[in-house]
Structure 1
Amino acid sequence: MSREAAGLVMAAVAALLILAGLLAWRRRSRRDAGLTAPVGEAPAGATTRLRSEGLYVATTRHDEPLERLAIRGLAFRSRVDVTVTDRGVALDLTGQPRVFLAADRLVDAGQATVAIDRVVERDGLVRVAWTTPEGTLVDSYLRPQDTSARSLADAIAGILPATPTPTSPQQTPGSDA
């Protein structure tokens, strides 16, 4: 095979791979078209508890850190300014409208190590579990750069809605209790 023919074969393979990626993203976008992010501002009078700059990594299905969702405004990795208030969490992604996760939408906040194609040091990511306006439980992953992941996760956990305490001890499925 000549050098020109080999170059043409490589270009054709590259074009096919790009086309396959575009088709897969289009299919994912159609699949997730019914999911939306709660766009808006923090309520008037909300008190800021913590501000942090960092990277927005992804939003995934709850407890499926490798299943990216193509939610408009949250589909792509970006720089993010996170503002934790007493009423919720504001995410300001570059070039996108502000996403405000009201405290009553928040389900959990913790630390993680892996999300999609991002692997960091142990507990270097913040995982925020929240409910979309359609009622789907999702996880958003953040990589703070000017504060620790622990302090950001703790600030978010501090505004989680109180859950009722059971009157009698119950064993949680999957626990050793």
Structure 2
Amino acid sequence: MSREFLLVLVLALLVVLLVLLPVGWFARRRRQGALAAPAEVPASLGASRGSFAGKYVATTASGDPYDRIAVHGLGFRSNVEAAVTDDGVLLARPGEPDTWIPRADLRSLDRATWTIDRVVEPDGLQVVDWMLGSRRVATYLRLDDPTGFDAALTPLIPTTERQAS
């Protein structure tokens, strides 16, 4: 085989891979199209428990950190301002619609070391489990003040869920 043939073969493989990436992403979005949208942000968020800056890492199916949720603006990493209030959690991210997690939808708060495309120091990610319609999902956050976030959010988790975790 000549060098030119091998070069063409490698370039053709690269083009096929670059075409398959968006095809796979759009297929995932189509499969998740029936997934309920997050709740509307209410006019009044309730009393503030704290606001925490950091990174939004991912939202996945709960218990499956490889199954990224790709719809409703939850598919891409970004900066985040997580506002914890008496009524729930507001995730404000630039370029995406705000995500409101009502207190009634919160299920648990945990820590993780990794998710689909991010590995950090042990317990470096906050994992907020919540209900998105009828599906339980997990949102991974990397916050500048993880201890403060945990202290603000833990009282909002239903007692029965805290005991089950």
User: Higher mean Cα deviation, 35-44 or 50-59?
Assistant: 35-44
Paired residues of 1:36 and 1:71 also in contact (CA < 8 A): no
- Unpaired runs of 5+ residues, structure 1, are 167-171
After superposition, residues 40-55 of structure 1 pair within 5 angstroms as: 40-44=40-44, 46-55=46-55
1:155 matches 2:152: yes
Identity of aligned residues (%): 36
2:105 aligns with: 105
- The one-letter amino acid of 2:137's match is V
Deviation at 1:2, TM superposition (A): 4.5
Of Structure 1 and Structure 2, the greater strand share is in 2
Paired residues of 1:51 and 1:83 also in contact (CA < 8 A): yes
Paired residues of 1:87 and 1:102 also in contact (CA < 8 A): yes
2:67 aligns with: 67
Of Structure 1 and Structure 2, the greater helix share is in 2
1:137 aligns with: 136
In 1, Cα distance between equivalents of 2:21 and 2:155: 40
Give CA deviations for 1:89-126 in whole Å, capped at 9, x if unaligned: 00012211111100001001111111101110011000
Q: Give the aligned CA root-mean-square deviation in angstroms.
A: 2.3
- The one-letter amino acid of 1:105's match is D
2:89 aligns with: 89
CA 1:164 to 1:58, structure 2 compared with 1: closer, same or farther past 3 Å?
closer
- The one-letter amino acid of 1:139's match is A
Deviation at 1:43, TM superposition (A): 4.6
1:23 aligns with: 23
Paired residues of 1:37 and 1:74 also in contact (CA < 8 A): no
Give CA deviations for 1:16-74 in whole Å, capped at 9, x if unaligned: 11122222212211111111332532452611111111111111111111221212210
- Unpaired runs of 5+ residues, structure 2, are none
Paired residues of 1:110 and 1:157 also in contact (CA < 8 A): no
CA 1:24 to 1:76, structure 2 compared with 1: closer, same or farther past 3 Å?
same
Paired residues of 2:45 and 2:85 also in contact (CA < 8 A): no
- The one-letter amino acid of 2:20's match is A
Paired residues of 1:127 and 1:153 also in contact (CA < 8 A): no
Deviation at 1:4, TM superposition (A): 3.9
- How many pairs does the alignment contain? 165
Q: Determine which structure has more spread, i.e. the larger CA radius of gyration.
A: 1
Q: What TM-score do you get using the length of structure 1 for normalisation?
A: 0.83
Q: What TM-score do you get using the length of structure 2 for normalisation?
A: 0.89
